[in-house]
């Protein structure tokens, strides 16, 4: 199932992208700066429609520093919040660094917020587009710092870009009082960066994919903005990886936010990028209890009641087959069902956040695979879960489930081992044991979401990665990839997916500890190869490796 990479296409894209990052240089330019101490809102406005708009108030009683902050009150929607024009001349490749502080004192002890962008287009009839750039957790009664970067994508039709803050989206009829809390922002700053300071891909180092080609394909998780060939992140992906999967853009809420209304734009961008570059494309995921639209589990006549068994089956079948038929021959591997096993034994139920088993029983698992196979007889169908490599009980539950599925002629082709691990656990022996166990059933093993935290637990305090952290991580990557190679030589495994191209966009930044960044991947925040990369490609480059 491995595809040969289209090097001529890659080279053409690199040449085309080179024109975006020209020799032009300039000093960093501050485009937004607000401390609100002057008593003015400074270009910020409300997002609400007339008659339902929230209020923006200069508040001298609550502030991070100085004498005032901006309070956002009278909110009735999750998306109500302050918005500011970033630029009225969107230029592909421009990078904006942003920072600021956010505060709230109502509702839950911890609350998620989102920094997002809105884009308009030169054609005034084209609908505006919205994208979440950064999600972060704040703690009630404490100011939380926000920091990040936003890169303008290469869409020649875009015109204006606005930036705004909101709470995670919910449909209006599902909004609770906790979603309508007041919040404050202070010391907001957006700086347009000098092009000379932009991260640049190292072109003079070996290609990761070429190095591993004799054993297996190596892929990464991406978001839609990262597959823009004009961007350095896309060039990093094209240089080193030969498979890709969407981090979030292929999940149920992104694809079908409203029943019967499928959103294909972002999904298509990722699949088309894979086709253009000759990469293997995976889909994550057709079914999952998280990031599923609220309507899926609701009775259409009364959203406060659960959906019926028959209707939920129909909705699931429609969702699966609509996707798989659309991408037949393009997507080669699907995570058909994701995380259906309980962390306490058996199947995940409502007690652990999933209604699937409560309403449908385990037949939803079996049916999902059958429906996917009907839509594409040749795609690889995967059952995916986490902690299989570290939890013997859960590992055995998966073994028993797959064995039962095979006996029932359910078309499961592979077990997906997520492999979200740390510098300290699990052991290399456990990982080998896990691969061997599932391969003994006659199915393939796919490493679907690998990353390696530098922290042993959520109790570890935030720190800048030390040289020893990176050396320990490199040794672990080296040893684990040796296990993968041995498994590949036995025909057990032919695909390993790293969960992100570089540390700057890892999901482990701010999770599971608010405000704590991590360094779990092969390339750092500036797209530079880490010791872990060299431990896989050329261990002689890393002093201290065994």
Question: How far from the centroid of its chain's Cα atoms is residue 285's Cα?
Answer: 12
Give the three-state DSSP class for 542: coil
Residue 388 CA to residue 4 CA, distance in Å, equals 31
Which residue in the list 228, 385, 503, 504 is annotated as catalytic? 385
Which residue in the list 449, 503, 504, 518 is annotated as catalytic? 449
Residue 148 CA to residue 162 CA, distance in Å, equals 16
Q: What b/e string do you get for 118-150 counting C-beta neighbours within 10 Å, with b at 16 or more?
A: bbbbeeeeeeebeeebbebebeeeebbebeebb
Report CA dihedral (350, 353, 355, 357) to the nearest 10 degrees: -70
Residue 234 CA to residue 240 CA, distance in Å, equals 10
Active site residue 449: yes
Residue 381 CA to residue 82 CA, distance in Å, equals 44
> Is the CB of residue 254 less than 8 Å from the CB of residue 290?
no
CB atoms within 10 A of CB 174: 13
Give the three-state DSSP class for 481: helix
Which residue in the list 339, 389, 451, 494 is annotated as catalytic? 339
Sequence-distant (6+) residues with CB within 8 A of 500 are: 220, 221, 247, 451, 506, 507, 520, 521
Residues classed as catalytic:
339, 385, 449
């Amino acid at each position: 199932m491995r595809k040969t990479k289209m090097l001529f296409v890659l080279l053409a894209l690199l040449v085309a992208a080179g024109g975006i990052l020209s020799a032009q240089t300039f000093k960093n330019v501050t485009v937004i700066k607000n401390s609100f101490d002057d008593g003015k809102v400074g270009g910020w406005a409300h997002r609400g429609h007339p008659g339902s708009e929230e209020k923006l108030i200069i508040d001298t009683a609550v502030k991070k520093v100085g004498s005032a902050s901006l309070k956002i009150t009278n909110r009735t929607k999750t998306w109500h919040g302050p918005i500011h024009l970033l630029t009225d001349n969107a230029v592909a490749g421009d990078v904006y660094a942003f920072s600021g502080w956010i505060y709230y004192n109502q509702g839950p002890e911890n609350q998620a917020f989102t920094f997002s962008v809105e884009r308009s287009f030169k054609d005034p009839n084209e609908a505006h587009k919205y994208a979440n750039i950064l999600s972060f957790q704040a703690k009630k009664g404490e100011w939380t710092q926000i920091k990040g970067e936003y890169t303008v994508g290469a869409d020649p039709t875009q015109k204006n870009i606005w930036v705004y803050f909101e709470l995670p989206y919910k449909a209006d009829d599902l909004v609770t009082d906790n979603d309508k809390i007041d919040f404050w922002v202070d010391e907001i700053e957006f700086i347009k960066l000098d092009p000379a300071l932009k991260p640049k891909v190292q072109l003079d180092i070996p290609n990761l994919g070429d190095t591993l080609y004799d054993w297996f394909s190596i892929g990464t998780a991406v978001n839609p903005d990262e597959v823009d060939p004009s961007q350095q992140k896309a060039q990093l992906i094209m240089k080193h990886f030969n498979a890709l999967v969407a981090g979030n853009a292929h999940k149920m809420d992104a694809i079908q936010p409203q029943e019967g209304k499928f959103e294909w734009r972002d999904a298509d961008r990722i699949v088309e990028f894979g086709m253009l570059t000759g990469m293997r494309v995976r889909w994550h995921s057709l079914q999952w209890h998280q990031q599923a639209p609220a309507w899926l589990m609701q009775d259409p006549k009364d959203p406060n009641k659960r959906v019926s068994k028959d209707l939920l089956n129909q909705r699931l079948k429609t969702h699966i087959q609509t996707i798989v038929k659309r991408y037949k021959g393009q997507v080669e591997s699907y995570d058909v069902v994701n995380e259906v096993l309980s962390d306490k034994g058996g199947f995940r139920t409502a007690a652990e956040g999933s209604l699937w088993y409560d309403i449908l029983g385990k037949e939803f698992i079996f049916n999902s695979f059958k429906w996917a196979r009907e839509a594409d007889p040749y795609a690889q169908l995967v059952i995916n879960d986490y902690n299989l490599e570290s939890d013997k009980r859960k590992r055995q539950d998966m073994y028993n489930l797959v064995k039962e599925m095979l006996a029932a002629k359910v078309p499961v082709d592979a077990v997906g081992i997520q492999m979200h691990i740390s510098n300290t656990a699990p052991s290399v022996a456990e990982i080998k044991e896990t691969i061997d166990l599932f391969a003994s059933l006659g199915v393939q093993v796919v490493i679907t979401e690998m990353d390696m935290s530098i922290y042993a637990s959520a109790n570890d305090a935030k720190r800048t990665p030390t040289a020893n952290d990176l050396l320990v991580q490199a040794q672990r990557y080296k040893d684990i990839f040796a296990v993968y190679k041995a498994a590949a030589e036995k025909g057990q495994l032919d695909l390993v997916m790293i969960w992100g191209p570089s540390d700057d966009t890892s999901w482990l930044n701010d999770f599971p500890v608010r405000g704590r960044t991590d360094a779990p991947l092969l390339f750092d925040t500036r797209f530079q190869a880490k010791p872990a990369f060299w431990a896989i490609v050329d261990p002689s480059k890393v002093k201290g490796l065994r």
